[in-house]
Amino acid sequence: MKNRIKIIKSPEKLTNIIKELKKRGKSVGFVPTMGALHNGHFSLIKKARKENDIVVVSIFVNPTQFGPNEDYKNYPRTFKEDKENCLNLGVDIIFAPTAEKLYPEGYKTFVEVKDLSDILCGKFRPGHFKGVATIVLKLFNIVQPDTAYFGLKDYQQFVIINKMVKDLNLNIKIKGVSTVREKDGLALSSRNKYLNEQERKEALLLYKSLKSAEQLIKYENVKNSDVIKKNIKNILLSGNIIKNKDIDYIAIVDAHSLAELKKIKGDVLIALAVHLGKARLIDNIVIRKVK
């Protein structure tokens, strides 16, 4: 038998409900999303369901994290299917506010995590992580979760949210959940819906290039970042669609500070962002304890 699910649009109403639940000693797990839910989101929800009394999922396409020429208007919106999936996964509350509720007329306050927001994806999407940090903090204040769950495919976002929580003394535990992939290795993303059949095949080069880099580091003891980056680039360009101009970045950085690494050592994040047709795809792998 399916559980009943509450759909709440009012921030004030949700805060009051959570307050009452917490008075009764209930723990609250929170999964913030922009909807168009897929197996990656499901893995976050399942973990939240396993670890908490109450699970809240927000579905809100946040306008402040999209640039002027990005896909805010066309971003997939599939609320009916999202609701059904949340119901099947045992979600207790869907928070689905309007933009007017969260950004009323005259809104002027934003949150920015300096330095971490200006590199990698932030370099190519100015203001993106300011929008992300702002909406996540607003959602945290409304939902008051004990634990919030984020996918590690958006690794830079995960690092930024952790830093914000630490710097602003928020009493919330942040948990990262491993990237969920298709059987052929493609990282799940709501933007994969933009890919045609040929682009979908070409997208596999992202993961192939990352696995090749992992092989070189782990088993061939290559420690020079430039050599690894060149190898990744050659694989990305080996298909028929991706060109030099389509690659935003190939980065090898410290997995904790996101500082660039010339010599590969410690916990290492290898991340890339590539334009493929209408989609901008990101992917990464983390290699631990490289000596």
Question: Which residues form the catalytic set?
Answer: 41
Closest CA to 103 of 80, 75, 72: 72
CA 238 to chain CA centroid, Å, is: 28
283: β partners: 272
Q: In the Cβ-directed half-sphere of 99, how many Cα atoms lie within 13 Å?
A: 11
What 3-state class would DSSP assign to 253? strand
Q: Please say whether the beta carbons of 180 and 40 come within 8 A.
A: yes
In whole angstroms, give the CA distance from residue 267 to residue 135. Answer: 29
- From the CB of residue 179, how many other CB atoms can be counted at a distance below 10 Å? 20
> DSSP letters of 168-231?
TT---EEEEEPPPB-TTSPBP-GGGGG--HHHHHHTHHHHHHHHHHHHHHHHS---BHHHHHHH
> Taking a C-beta distance cutoff of 8 angstroms, is the pair 181, 284 a contact?
no
Q: How many helices (H) and strands (E) does the chain have?
A: 10, 9
Burial class of residue 250 (count of CB atoms within 10 Å of its CB; 0-12, 13-18, 19+):
buried
CA 228 centroid distance within chain: 25
